[in-house]
Copies of this chain bind each other. A is one copy, B any other.
Amino acid sequence: MAETKLSTHTLDALYLRDKNLVDEVIGQMTFTDAMFYHIMGVAPTPGQRAILDAVLVTLMEHGFTPSAITARMTYLSAPEAMQSAVAAGLLNVASQFIGTMENAAKILAEIATNPDGTDAACLHVVHRHLDQGQHMPGFGHHLHRPDDPRTPKLFAIAMAHDDIKKQPIEMMKQLGSTVDQLYGKHLTINATGATAAVLMGAGIPVGIMRGFAVISRAAGLVAHIMEEQSSPTGRHIWDLVDKSIPYTGKALETPNNQT
Minimum CB–CB distance for A77 against chain B, Å: 4
Q: Are B249 and A15 in contact (CB under 8 A)?
A: yes
In the complex this chain forms, how many copies of it are found?
4
Interface residue range, chain A: 35 or more
Q: Are A64 and B242 in contact (CB under 8 A)?
A: yes
* A21 on interface, CB distance cutoff 8 Å: yes
Closest B residue to A92 by beta carbon equals: B77
Q: Are A2 and B244 in contact (CB under 8 A)?
A: yes
Minimum CB–CB distance for A178 against chain B, Å: 25
A7-B61, A77-B66, A225-B208 known; A250 vs B18 contact (CB < 8 Å): yes
Option from B4, B91, B245 in Cβ contact (under 8 Å) with A2: B245
Closest B residue to A94 by beta carbon equals: B78
- Find residues 82-117 in chain A having any chain B CB closer than 8 Å to their own CB: 82-88, 90-98
A64-B245, A91-B88 known; A252 vs B8 contact (CB < 8 Å): yes
Q: Are A60 and B81 in contact (CB under 8 A)?
A: no
Which of A26, A52, A242 has the largest number of chain B CB atoms within 10 A? A26
Q: Are A94 and B77 in contact (CB under 8 A)?
A: yes
Q: For A248, what are the chain B residues with a Cβ–Cβ distance below 8 Å?
A: 3-5
Known A6-B224, A20-B257, A30-B30; further 16 A-B contacts with Cβ < 8 A: A2-B245, A4-B63, A4-B231, A5-B231, A6-B61, A6-B249, A15-B252, A17-B249, A26-B157, A27-B156, A38-B223, A40-B226, A66-B74, A77-B96, A83-B84, A215-B222
